[in-house]
Chain A
Amino acid sequence: RKEVEQDPGPFNVPEGATVAFNCTYSNSASQSFFWYRQDCRKEPKLLMSVYSSGNEDGRFTAQLNRASQYISLLIRDSKLSDSATYLCAVNMGGGASKLTFGTGTRLQVTL
């Protein structure tokens, strides 16, 4: 089983739709969680951290479910500019600062 898993997609949604991605992780001792956005042929950029109580940043909401070991990202009112690959990242804990990434979920927002 991979340490961090994501559905690769693509998710094709119309503008204005709500879309959600999940990311599962294998290590229950994982300490911190993040969502990154990556545009084609560019570097990943931090979208948001994921906090235990859940957090929101404009149209984006991130949640953590420790019991089931997954994090989620919800995008409301999708824009064309949201088209990208979304990567989850998990710090596995155990004293190491190693950040492990999922393979990413591709989102395509269409007119």
Chain B
Amino acid sequence: DVKVTQSSRYLVKRTGEKVFLECVQDMDHENMFWYRQDPGLGLRLIYFSYDVKMKEKGDIPEGYSVSREKKERFSLILESASTNQTSMYLCASSLYAYTEAFFGQGTRLTVV
């Protein structure tokens, strides 16, 4: 079974803090993704990566950056957290382009 693990289930941070969300997959998948999910807006892609050190902007990259130094690990960074970044963050991975994605359990981030 594919395992995608996110470092935290729940996180509370203060406005202006730098926040790191970590994601690890154990199936040697090429592609990794960060989504955020908000009521009524569904899943929106923030960034994705198709190889180590490679990244592409998704639909809502503003205020976020990512890092992929190793194939199994994809980090999402909120440079200066703001209250409008309060959301559920979901990491996913897929073996190749066009194949299904598998999700981590999600991190519910609250910025106060």
Please measure, in the bound complex, the distance between the C-alpha atom of A42 and the C-alpha atom of B42, giving whole angstroms: 13
Q: Which 8 residue pairs of A and B lie closest in terms of their CB atoms, listed nearest first?
A: A103-B42, A97-B97, A43-B103, A101-B43, A32-B98, A97-B31, A31-B98, A43-B106
Assess whether A49 is interfacial by the CB under 8 Å rule: yes
Which A positions have Cβ atoms within 8 angstroms of B? Answer: 31-32, 34, 42-46, 49, 87, 89, 91, 93, 95-104
Give chain B residues whose Cβ lies under 8 Å from the Cβ of A89: 101
Number of residue pairs across A and B with beta carbons under 8 Å?
56
Residues of B within 8 A of A103 (CB): 40-42
* Docked-complex contact B100 and A87, CB < 8 angstroms: no
* Chain B residues, CB < 8 A from A45: 103
User: Are B56 and A98 neighbours in the complex by a CB distance under 8 Å?
Assistant: yes
Which residues in A have their C-beta under 8 angstroms from that of B41?
Answer: 103
Q: Count residues on chain B whose CB falls below 8 Å from chain A CBs.
A: 27
Any A CB within 8 A of the CB of B74: no
Q: Output the nearest chain A residue to B57 by Cβ-Cβ distance.
A: A98
Looking across the interface, which residue of chain B has its beta carbon closest to that of A44? B103
**Does the CB pair A98–B48 fall under 8 Å?**
yes
B42 A32 Cβ-Cβ under 8 A: no
Contact A44 B48 (CB under 8 A): no
Q: A99-B94, A101-B42, A101-B43 are known contacts; what are 14 more A-B pairs with Cβ within 8 Å? A: A31-B98, A34-B101, A43-B105, A44-B90, A44-B103, A45-B103, A46-B102, A89-B101, A91-B98, A96-B97, A97-B31, A98-B45, A99-B33, A99-B101
29 of the cross-chain contacts (CB-CB < 8 Å) are: A32-B99, A32-B100, A34-B100, A34-B101, A43-B103, A43-B104, A43-B105, A43-B106, A44-B43, A44-B90, A46-B101, A49-B100, A89-B101, A91-B97, A95-B97, A96-B97, A97-B97, A98-B45, A98-B56, A98-B58, A99-B92, A101-B35, A101-B42, A101-B43, A102-B42, A103-B40, A103-B41, A103-B42, A104-B42
